[in-house]
Amino acid sequence: MKRVSGWMASAAACLLAAPAMAGEDVDAKLAEMQELVQGLQQKVEAQDEQIEHQGKMLEDAQRVVRADEQGTLSGLAAFIDSLEVDGGVAASYNYNLNDVSDKFNPSFGATDRNTGNSGLFLPFHRDDNTFQVDQVWFGLGKPATEESRGGFRFDIFYGATASNYATGNTFSREDFDRDSTSDLVVDQAYVQYLAPIGDVDFKLGKFATPVGAEVAKQWANFNITRGIVYSAMQPVNHVGLIGTIPIGDMASFGAGIANSGTSLISAPDDSKEKSYIATLYLGDSRANIRGSFIYGWEPAVTGAGSNTGEQTGLADLTAWFNPTDNISLWVNYDYLFVEDTGYYANGVALAGRIALGDAGFALRGEYINEHPSQNNGGLLFSDTHRPHVWSLTFTPDYALTDHLKVKGEFRYDLVNDSEEKEFWEGERISQDKDQKVVLVGAEYVF
């Protein structure tokens, strides 16, 4: 019985010990699982922190991109805002009261009907009884300022004005056959820099001449036609370098060097010589005066000396006076000479315009006296004597809209004290000392 009892006691002890051992294993497993869960939880938390950090980095990057885009757009907008854009279209009709009816007769030398033998009177309205596109102009530029010291400017134009410049006043049969609106002329094309020292304004490239009161852009003048002082004596632009420095609030001085000084429009650099430009401006928008002097070797100065070229000078004085908002006046004097030949010419032009509401009236009077050289006579006009040339132009205008203006014009030209006759007249292409031309035109400007 003792053995059975002992065995049963041992068995009972084993049965009682088994659950205790099983409980210890479960606790170990639970502890292991809990540790595993905690590890997973830590990894998840670490991943959440990493994701949050990456999200912040992405947001920062997006802010930088947006700032760059905004900066780029802002810079582009600022550049666009700094641009100056202008232009316009001008068209006209002209009729010569000398009744020059012959269309083209080279046997009489009638290669042109309104400009006279010299081609200098109405070079932009050459044909009689004709409709034409005078000018199609487009200009674009960014001026140099203290905030942005770099700049540029270019102006291009088409039309009869450009056709005249492009042909070089040859007036050949081919010139008459071609489309007068197809030629293109670059009036200005320069790079600009405003230096921080002295605010010196530099322009490199093709720039408008400082000489004269009238300019290439048609609607910037009082009249439809340009005057004889402009056409016969003055350059239009130069290719080179010019610097202008302000002197106080009402003065400036400019000096430059160019390929050509007195050629009509941006002559090619056909010699190693250069021309030199100096200009002084005094005044403000109400009243001002500008003196300019151009001097240099000009090739092929025929009629005034050697055909190989001579030292040529042009002194110009231009004054503007605007006593009221409705009255504008200017006077322009030029002295042209060719050194060591005895040749010189004097030219003076006076003009004024009165505005009466939407209407206006302009009057221009001009005179040129040419003194021939010792050997080969005159340089400007066909006469080999000493011509006295006069011109009178009357131009009323009326603004139909803020941008559209119509003009009428009567122009009278006379060559006096001359044995030769300058102008064509009549059916047979005879010649006379004077001519009378009537024009009407319209200009749209933006």
What 3-state DSSP class applies to 176? helix
Nearest alpha-carbon partner for 351 in 222, 228, 440, 230:
222
User: How many Cα atoms occupy the beta-carbon half-sphere of 428 within 13 Å?
Assistant: 3
Residue ranges for the chain with pLDDT beneath 50? 1-4, 7, 14-15, 105-110, 169-176, 302-307
Q: What is the pLDDT of residue 111?
A: 58
Q: What is the pLDDT of residue 172?
A: 47
CA angle 304, 118, 410 (to 5 degrees): 135
Q: What is the pLDDT of residue 42?
A: 76
CA 162/CA 67 separation, integer angstroms: 47
H-type alpha helices, 307-361: none
CA 263/CA 314 separation, integer angstroms: 11
Q: Are 183 and 153 in contact (CB under 8 A)?
A: no
pTM: 0.79
Nearest alpha-carbon partner for 331 in 320, 341, 339:
320
Non-local (6+) Cβ contacts of 132 within 8 A are 91, 92, 93, 94, 125, 159, 160, 180
Q: Are 332 and 288 in contact (CB under 8 A)?
A: no
User: How many Cα atoms occupy the beta-carbon half-sphere of 193 within 13 Å?
Assistant: 8
Q: What is the pLDDT of residue 4?
A: 47
User: How many Cα atoms occupy the beta-carbon half-sphere of 72 within 13 Å?
Assistant: 6
CA 64/CA 101 separation, integer angstroms: 74
Q: What is the pLDDT of residue 307?
A: 45
Q: What is the pLDDT of residue 40?
A: 74
